[in-house]
Amino acid sequence: MDKYLEERKSVIQVAQTLSEGGFFGTRSGTGGNVSARCGAEGLVAVTPSGRPYQNLKPADICIVDLEGGQVAGELRPSIETGMHLSVYRTRPEVGAVLHTHQHYASVLSVIDEPIPPLFDEVSLHLGVQVDVVPYGPSGSPELAAHVADVVANGGNGFILQNHGALCLGKTLEEALTNVEMLEKAAKVYFHALCTGKEVTRLPRETLSMIEKMRKPPKNDG
């Protein structure tokens, strides 16, 4: 019996949803990657390298530990596994990581443009500002280190310079929602910039309220 079956099936479902929605840049390609924690075992289920998402089977999903050692699966884990693991090590509350090549976030990635606070719902879910992670070659320790540094800000949505986007969540479902919110904000911001007019931002009072709401509750135990 596959002890990781449910996690593997959930990773495939989200990967296929993203692929069919065009969030990986192409529907027939293998760009982008998906991962999720496996319970309390300190393990992560991650998509394999170079495999079309439409054809994935549960056994194709790789299981790795937080240092990158492969625990289960015959295929090679995604080239970006190190980047995913850097998030999990930095942010213990994160349960899922989605790396996409979605269109409008990618546009902002090539002009090195963070997304300012435009909408209260987006800022509440993703963070007051969507920051840009400095460039590092795909799959490199340099990129993983840059990601670890920037995600420490507590946000759930990020732009990867000259690369794409990264979204986090406590669950795969939450991370998927954050991908969609990021693309909405990126699309609106791009078109707003194209008008040449001033882009208005949320008032300081609203941002203060959002920052308080985003803070984790204090543990008095």
Q: Write the DSSP string, 93-129.
A: T--EEEEE--HHHHHHHHTT-PBP---HHHHHHH-SS
Q: pTM of this prediction? A: 0.94
pLDDT on residue 219: 53
Query: Which distant-in-sequence residues (6+ apart) come within 8 Å of 99 by Cβ?
Result: 32, 33, 34, 80, 83, 84, 160, 164, 165, 166
Residue 220 is assigned to a structural domain of this protein: no
Model confidence band, residue 29 (pLDDT cutoffs 50, 70, 90): confident
The enclosing domain of 20 has a CATH number of: 3.40.225.10
Two structure tokens written together for 200: 């208005």
Q: What is the mean pLDDT of residues 173-186?
A: 98
pLDDT digit string, tens, across residues 109-138 = 999 999 999 999 999 999 999 999 999 999
Q: Quick one: which H or E segment has residue 157?
A: strand 157-160
Residue 221 is assigned to a structural domain of this protein: no
CA 15 vs. chain centroid, Å, equals: 12
**Domain total of the chain:** 1
Which among 6, 41, 80, 205 is annotated as catalytic? 80
Residue 119 is assigned to a structural domain of this protein: yes
Share the mean pLDDT of the chain: 95
Name all contacts of 138-142 with Cβ < 8 Å and 24+ positions apart: 138/79, 138/80, 138/163, 139/79, 139/80, 139/82, 139/83, 140/82, 141/82
Told to judge if 7 belongs to the known catalytic residues of this protein, a careful annotator would answer: no
Residue 48 is assigned to a structural domain of this protein: yes
Residue 219 is assigned to a structural domain of this protein: no
C-alpha to C-alpha distance for 30 and 28, rounded to whole angstroms: 7
- Range of 25's domain? 5-214
Is the pLDDT assigned to residue 35 strictly greater than 70? yes
Model confidence band, residue 217 (pLDDT cutoffs 50, 70, 90): low
Residue 185 is assigned to a structural domain of this protein: yes
